[in-house]
């Protein structure tokens, strides 16, 4: 991750393997980078990872407004490029800060993470985006593990999980077991959040819907033994034709992360197989048989197009690969 990072934070994009400085930085990427750096430190004990984590946390602190919302975009000139970020941006911040509180980060880092989290949480009650709600559940779950005596996180998790379950009830049927009438990006975050809500003492419907929707994703995304994420050029609308390209690395990572949680909860090998199949997407187990990991730089290519690799190697792609790898490693599955 250091190849994408300067003293400010993680850059958003690369042109091939060269940093595209004019594209600047995002809170979305730095939040995910914070999680990846702390996961790496937790598993490897690498002091450099902790120093990177401090950089990413400092970036997030700088991006937070007085009202708790966060800017998402900042240019290389260090000027904000938006008034405030999306709901998903806020969800990523809550997830990252909650995770920081739950691991063996230095006390000073955890104090900063708690301040960002506590200021960002109230606006989350107005979230509409299902993915933002899912990311908030992930953050609250980690916060709860750090402060088990505080009952408010579990209540908030229950509320958000209930909203996702209600949305599933409106949209799902026997053939389309999903929360929306379309499949777009970071799909597996939704069942992952309900699985985590189940671990936080969610009701039985939480686990059932989490597994039903994850099974639907597995059936939809794994074709003839190959992971084939929904393409960004048209997505997949219920009753329509799915887009095959462009395929994005974030989909493989989200599937790995969700399937590993399902495997840990249920012990069913089908989820372990789904996680490994999704992970192999990075290593050539995809529709074009191309390897997405740059063996020289350790970064990940931005996706697969009909013509082959998108040879840019930005933050989201690289972080997706790292989070997938670290999730498997942390659970002794790699």
- Rounded to 10 deg, the angle between the 87-102 and 107-124 helix axes is 150
The structure tokens listed for 242 are: 């799915």
Average pLDDT of the chain, as a whole number:
96
Q: Give the pLDDT confidence score for residue 17 in this predicted structure.
A: 86
Strands (E) in the chain, as ranges, are: 14-15, 18-19, 25-26, 73-74, 182-183, 222-223, 226-227, 236-237, 303-305, 308-310
Greatest distance between any 2 Cα atoms in the chain:
54
Q: Is 309 helix (H, G, I), strand (E, B) or coil?
A: strand
Per-residue pLDDT of 298-310, as tens digits, reads 999 999 999 999 9
- What is the model's pLDDT at position 146? 95
- For the record, the structure tokens of 5 come out as 């990072």
More confident residue, 255 or 20: 255
User: In sequence order, what are the residues at sequence separation of 6 or more whose Cβ sits closer than 8 angstroms to the Cβ of residue 173?
Assistant: none
Residue partners of 39: CB distance under 8 A and separation at least 6: 103, 323, 326, 327, 330
Confidence of residue 14 (pLDDT cuts 50, 70, 90): confident
Tell me which of 133-142, 200-209, 256-265, 295-304 is least confident.
200-209
- The set of residues, in sequence order, having a beta carbon less than 8 Å from that of 333 and lying 6+ positions away, is 260, 272, 275, 276
Q: What are 22's two structure tokens?
A: 């004019």
Does the global pTM surpass 0.85? yes
User: How much of the chain, in percent, has pLDDT values that exceed 90?
Assistant: 93
Residue with tokens 């790292």: 322
pLDDT at residue number 148: 93
Query: The tokens of 334 are what?
Result: 């790699």
Asked if residue 1 has pLDDT above 80, the reply is no
Q: Are residues 139 and 119 in contact, defined by beta-carbon separation less than 8 angstroms? A: no
Domains in the chain and their CATH numbers? 1-150 (1.50.10.10), 161-334 (1.50.10.20)
288-295 average pLDDT score: 96
For residue range 211-249, what is the model confidence (pLDDT) as tens digits? 999 999 999 999 999 999 999 999 999 999 999 999 999
* 69-95 pLDDT, tens digit each: 999 999 999 999 999 999 999 999 999
Query: What is the pLDDT, as a whole number, of residue 222?
Result: 97
pLDDT exceeds cutoff 80 at 96: yes
Could you read off the pLDDT of 23-79 as tens digits, one per residue?
999 999 999 999 999 999 999 988 999 999 999 999 999 999 999 999 999 999 999
With a pLDDT cut of 70, the percent of the chain lying above it is 100
- Tell me the sheet residues that pair with 291: 283
């Amino acid at each position: 991750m250091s190849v994408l990072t300067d003293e400010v934070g993680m850059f958003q994009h690369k042109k091939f393997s060269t940093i595209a400085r004019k594209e600047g930085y995002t809170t979305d990427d730095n939040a995910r980078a914070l999680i990846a750096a702390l996961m790496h430190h937790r598993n490897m004990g690498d002091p450099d990872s902790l120093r990177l984590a401090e950089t990413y946390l400092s970036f997030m602190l700088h991006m937070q407004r007085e009202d708790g919302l966060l800017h998402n975009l900042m240019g290389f000139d260090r000027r904000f490029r938006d008034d405030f970020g999306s709901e998903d941006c806020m969800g990523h911040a809550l997830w990252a800060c909650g995770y920081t509180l739950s691991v063996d980060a230095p006390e000073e880092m955890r104090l900063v993470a708690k301040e960002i989290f506590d200021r960002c949480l109230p606006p989350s009650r107005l979230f509409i985006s299902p993915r933002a709600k899912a990311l908030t559940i992930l953050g609250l779950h980690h916060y709860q593990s750090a402060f088990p005596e505080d009952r408010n996180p579990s209540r908030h998790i229950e509320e958000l999980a209930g909203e996702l379950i209600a949305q599933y009830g409106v949209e799902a049927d026997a053939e389309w077991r999903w929360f929306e009438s379309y499949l777009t990006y970071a799909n597996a975050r939704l069942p992952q959040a309900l699985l985590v809500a189940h671990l936080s003492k969610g009701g039985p419907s939480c686990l059932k819907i989490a597994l039903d929707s994850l099974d639907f994703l597995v059936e939809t995304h794994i074709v003839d033994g190959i992971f084939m994420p929904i393409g960004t050029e048209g997505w997949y609308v219920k009753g329509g034709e799915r887009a095959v390209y462009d395929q994005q690395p974030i989909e493989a990572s989200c599937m790995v992360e969700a399937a590993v949680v399902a495997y840990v909860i249920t012990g069913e090998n089908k989820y372990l197989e789904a996680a490994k199949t999704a992970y192999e997407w990075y290593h050539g187990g995809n529709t074009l048989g191309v390897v997405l990991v740059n063996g020289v730089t350790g970064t990940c290519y931005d996706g697969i197009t009909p013509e082959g690799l998108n040879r840019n190697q930005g933050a989201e792609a690289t972080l997706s690969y790292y989070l997938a790898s670290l999730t498997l490693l942390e659970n002794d599955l790699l």
